[in-house]
Amino acid sequence: MGIAERSSDVTSFSQQRGSEVSSFVAMVAAIAAIGGGLFGYDTGVISGAILYIKRDFQVAAATEGLIVSAVTAGALASAMVAGVLADRGGRRLTNIVAGVVFATASLLCVVANGVPTLVAGRFLVGCGIGLTSVGAPMYIAEVSPARIRGTFVSLFQLAVTVGILVSYIVCAILAPAAAWRWMLGLAAVPGLALAIGMMFMPESPRWLVKHGRRQEAQAVLEKINPLTEPDETLTHIEHDLAAEGQGSWGALLQPVLRPALIVGIGLAVFQQVTGINAVIYYAPQIFEAAGFGSHLTALAATTGIGVINVLATFIAIWLVDRQGRRPLLIAGVAGMVATLVVLGLAFEGSPAGTATGSLGQITVVCLAAYVVFFAFSLGPIVWLMISEIYPLRNRAQAMAVSTAANWGANFLVSMTFPIMTTWLGSASTFLIYAALGVVTLFFVIAKVPETKGKTLEEISKLWR
């Protein structure tokens, strides 16, 4: 056999091995991403369920707020716990616990016979979300080969968007029966699937090395990436660990970690303060203000936004490892700013702060475009980058802090949106989000590094 034939044999062998690798890692990523689906479903479902909960339990406005925001409080609190668990018990265990917590919490909501149990159940659901939003992206990032890491971590965001959409559909189907217990309880099934599925998945090789379990790490690396020499990867990981400081929470205050933390926390907060959840959580109200007469048309338009959110996430899945993180972030945030400005002006130019007629149509187009721009930029790339920019020794803690910051900002925006629209009007509210978008754009251009195609160990060198 000539050299040319042999080398073409080698190429096709490595292509075949390459696609086997991709499908194994894709399966690992897909199982972990179930947590993202629960994150999306459980944040979306409450808007439908609350209407019937209110009726059954005769709750006052303050209690209603408590039931709705218990999830965010749980996510905020448990993100920090997730940092400890992911560091000490492992990335795999964090995802298994998330699944168990989701399943238990959903069942608690089903049997709730009063407000305290329901609030406890929803708080626990939030704990599942906090655990998964730290555990899943980090786990996927640590098992994925560098060249396709962006695509695989973006599956987490895809699952979030699918979860939101499914929650809208489930609520629409179950609304005639006012079956809020089913709405909340259905999440127990994917919760169990996550816990059981993760039991069969390997531990992250990076976590194993960090805990001195080199041989097990080698076995996992051989499985997830047989095309590269595991010894070489192991040496890089060990070098990286040796070059880093202590792996404690206190180490987060050390100057060496500061630049990475500024980027991670900054991205996490900017993802929220540019207003995405004002749209996701309050879309029906915005559509009604834009002149959609009935509840039903407003709800149909909201479902449309859910579909667009899912579809546009594929743009990131397709491009994030080809074009890189920075170009997508810059294009997406610039688009978000432009659509927010037009939205603001549309509401500004209409009587009594409502956009009707052709201005109403502009509003709808702008909202849809805004969601598209978010869905291929700040949506997936924030979760991706906060799982890849931190050095291994402090990855769990730093990711926990960034995730907690994301949930804190989420809480702030969803609490203040109704107040801002009442006091300042819709126009000024959207223009404030646009101004924060401009700040985000400068931040990305000035501070966010490109991580496309780099191994996690190469990325951690960027900060040294």
Q: Which residues bind ligand BGC (CB under 6 A)?
A: 43, 157, 160-161, 164, 271, 276-277, 280, 309, 379, 410
- DSSP annotation of 450: P
Q: State in angstroms the smallest separation of the CB of 71 from ligand BGC.
A: 11
- Min separation Cβ 106 and ligand BGC, Å: 19
As measured in angstroms, the least distance from the Cβ of 274 to ligand BGC is: 11
Shortest reach from residue 72's CB to ligand BGC, in Å: 10
Contacts of 18 (CB under 8 A, 6+ apart): 227
* Euclidean distance between CA atoms 278 and 296, whole angstroms: 20
Distance, CA of 313 to CA of 156 (rounded, Å): 10
Cβ at position 133, least distance to ligand BGC in Å = 7
What's the burial of 143, exposed, middle or buried (CB within 10 Å: 0-12/13-18/19+)?
buried
Residue nearest to ligand BGC (CB): 379
CB of 404 to ligand BGC, least distance (A): 13
CB of 461 to ligand BGC, least distance (A): 28
Q: Closest CB to ligand BGC among 94 and 414?
A: 414
Closer residue to ligand BGC (CB): 159 or 224: 159
**Distance between CA atoms of 360 and 353, rounded to whole angstroms?**
11
- Nearest to ligand BGC of 67, 280 (CB atom): 280
Report in angstroms how near the CB of residue 276 gets to ligand BGC at its nearest: 5
Residues in contact with 437: Cβ distance below 8 Å, sequence separation at least 6, in sequence order = 274, 333, 336, 337, 340
Beta carbon nearer to ligand BGC, 237 or 265: 265
Q: Which is nearer to ligand BGC, 94 or 410 (CB)?
A: 410
Q: What letter does residue 462 receive in the DSSP assignment? A: T
Residue 240 in tokens: 């990286």
Question: Would you say 47 or 363 has its CB closer to ligand BGC?
Answer: 47
Contact 204, 139 (CB under 8 A): yes
Q: Which is nearer to ligand BGC, 94 or 271 (CB)?
A: 271
Question: Looking at beta carbons only, is 347 or 376 nearer to ligand BGC?
Answer: 376
- Own/partner contacts of 298-304, CB < 8 Å, gap of 24 or more, are 299/168, 299/172, 301/364, 302/168, 303/165, 303/168, 303/169, 303/172, 304/368
User: Cβ contacts of residue 292 below 8 Å, gap of 6+?
Assistant: 298, 301, 360
- Residue 78 Cβ, how far from ligand BGC at the closest point, in Å? 15
Q: Can you say whether residue 291 is alpha, beta or left, with left for phi > 0 and alpha for psi between -120 and 50 degrees?
A: left
**Token duo for residue 317:** 């899945």
Distance from chain centroid for Cα 4: 46
Q: Which pair of tokens denotes residue 153?
A: 């971590």
Phi–psi pair at 9, nearest 5 degrees: -60, -45
Please say which residue, 43 or 204, places its beta carbon nearer to ligand BGC: 43
Q: What is the Cα–Cα distance from 140 to 33, expressed in whole angstroms?
A: 8
